[in-house]
Amino acid sequence: MSKAVTMNVGNDGIAVLSLDVQGKPMNVITPELQQDLRECVEKVVSDEAIIGAVVTSAKNDFMAGADLKSMSPLMAGLGAAELAKIIGGPDSIKTVYREMEICGKPFAAAINGTALGGGLELALACHYRVAADRQDAVLGLPEVQVGLLPGAGGTQRLPRMIGCQAALELMTQGRHIKPAQAKAMGIVDALASQEELIDTAKAWIKDKGDPVQPWDKKGFKIPGGLDANRIGTIQTFLIANALVAKNTNHNYPAPISIVSCVYEGCQVPIDTGLRIETNYFAELLAGPVAGNMIRTLFVNKKSADKLRARPEGFAKTKVTTLGMLGAGMMGSGITLVSARSGMNVVLLDSTEELAVKGKQYTEKFLEKRVKKGKMTTEAAAEVLDRITVTTDFNDLASCDLIIEAVFEDREIKADVTQKTEAVIPEETIFASNTSTLPITGLAESSSRPNSFIGMHFFSPVERMPLVEIILGKETSDQALAVALDYVQQIRKTPIVVNDSRGFFTSRVFSTACNEANTMLMEGVSPALIENAARHAGYPVGPLAVQDETSIELGYKIHLQT
Q: For residues 242 and 330, state if they share a domain.
A: no
Q: Using an 8 Å Cβ cutoff, are 328 and 405 in contact? A: yes
Where residue 239 sits, what CATH number does that domain have?
3.90.226.10
The reply to whether 442 falls in a domain is yes
Q: Among 486, 502, 518, identify where a domain stops.
A: 502
Q: For residues 60 and 162, state if they share a domain.
A: yes
In the Cβ-directed half-sphere of 236, how many Cα atoms lie within 13 Å?
Answer: 23
Burial (Cβ within 10 Å: 0-12, 13-18, ≥19) of residue 297: middle
Burial (Cβ within 10 Å: 0-12, 13-18, ≥19) of residue 73: exposed
pLDDT at 73: 61
The reply to whether 399 falls in a domain is yes
Q: For residues 175 and 36, state if they share a domain.
A: yes
pLDDT at 259: 93
What are the CA-CA distances from residue 132 to residues 109, 153, 378 (Å)? 11, 23, 24
Q: Using an 8 Å Cβ cutoff, are 481 and 311 in contact? A: yes
The reply to whether 302 falls in a domain is no
For 336, phi then psi, to 5°, come to: -60, -55
Q: Which residues of the chain have pLDDT under 50?
A: 1
This prediction's pTM: 0.81
The reply to whether 312 falls in a domain is no
Would you call the peptide bond into 269 cis, given omega within 30 degrees of 0 as the criterion?
A: no
Q: For residues 520 and 429, state if they share a domain.
A: no
Which among 432, 93, 111, 433 has a CA at the least distance from the CA of 281? 93
Q: For residues 341 and 488, state if they share a domain.
A: yes
Q: For residues 338 and 286, state if they share a domain.
A: no
Q: Using an 8 Å Cβ cutoff, are 323 and 349 in contact? A: no
The alpha carbon of 32 is separated from its chain's Cα centroid by a whole number of angstroms, namely 26
Answer left, alpha or beta for residue 508, where phi above 0 means left and psi between -120 and 50 means alpha. alpha
Q: For residues 471 and 553, state if they share a domain.
A: no
Q: Using an 8 Å Cβ cutoff, are 59 and 45 in contact? A: no
The reply to whether 535 falls in a domain is yes
Q: For residues 159 and 228, state if they share a domain.
A: yes
The reply to whether 308 falls in a domain is no
pLDDT at 1: 46
The reply to whether 394 falls in a domain is yes
Instruction: Exactly one of 176, 250, 456, 535 is catalytic; name it.
Output: 456
Q: For residues 290 and 437, state if they share a domain.
A: no
Count of structural domains within the chain: 3
Q: Using an 8 Å Cβ cutoff, are 540 and 459 in contact? A: no
Residue 210 sits in which domain range? 5-296
Residue 456 falls in the annotated catalytic set: yes
The reply to whether 279 falls in a domain is yes
Q: Among 502, 527, 549, identify where a domain stops.
A: 502
Where residue 381 sits, what CATH number does that domain have?
3.40.50.720
